[in-house]
Structure 1
Amino acid sequence: MAPTQIDLAEEALAEAMRIMGTTTKKETVNAALRDYVDRVKRPEAAKKLAERGARGEFEQAAAHAAMKRACRAAFE
């Protein structure tokens, strides 16, 4: 990690530490950054899943799995 010197809003930092249960400024800022990135990624991932569903990919995968199970059962 690279050391970075920044001015922080002390009241906001103290509130974030209280809410997150963190004990250091570094831990709080890093946790907040990770949380922000996760929140941004979630809608993108949901959108991609919805697009795959609209294309019928999940139905195709389910049909393929069912066919494999039927083939295995036929040879048992």
Structure 2
Amino acid sequence: MGTNLALDDHLIAEAQAIGGARTKKAAVTEALEEYIRRRKQVRITELFGKIEYDPEYDYKKHRLRR
């Protein structure tokens, strides 16, 4: 999908240098992938303390079934 964006040339150049990307497209793609990963991590941390678990569950017992 072709998209035209007005991006800051200094930011793109810095992203390419830091990330080792050879092209602007590669730098932007990598930045978007990292952005998505980080946002997903934040969502996961928001679940801490909200998920109930069974205190009787024996995870070690289930490991040995393999």
Question: What is the TM-score with the length of structure 1 in the denominator?
Answer: 0.67
Identity %: 27
Asked which structure has the greater CA Rg, the reply is: 1
Return the structure number with greater relative CO, CA threshold 8 A, min gap 6.
Answer: 2
Counterpart CA distance in 2 for 1:17 and 1:45 is 29
Q: Residue 38 of structure 1 corresponds to which residue in structure 2?
A: 37
Q: Which runs of 5+ in 1 are unaligned?
A: 70-76
Q: How many residues in Structure 1 have an aligned counterpart in Structure 2?
A: 61
More helix by share: 1
Counterpart CA distance in 2 for 1:23 and 1:33 is 16
Structural RMSD (CA): 2.0
Q: Which runs of 5+ in 2 are unaligned?
A: 62-66
C-alpha deviation, 1:50, in angstroms: 2.9
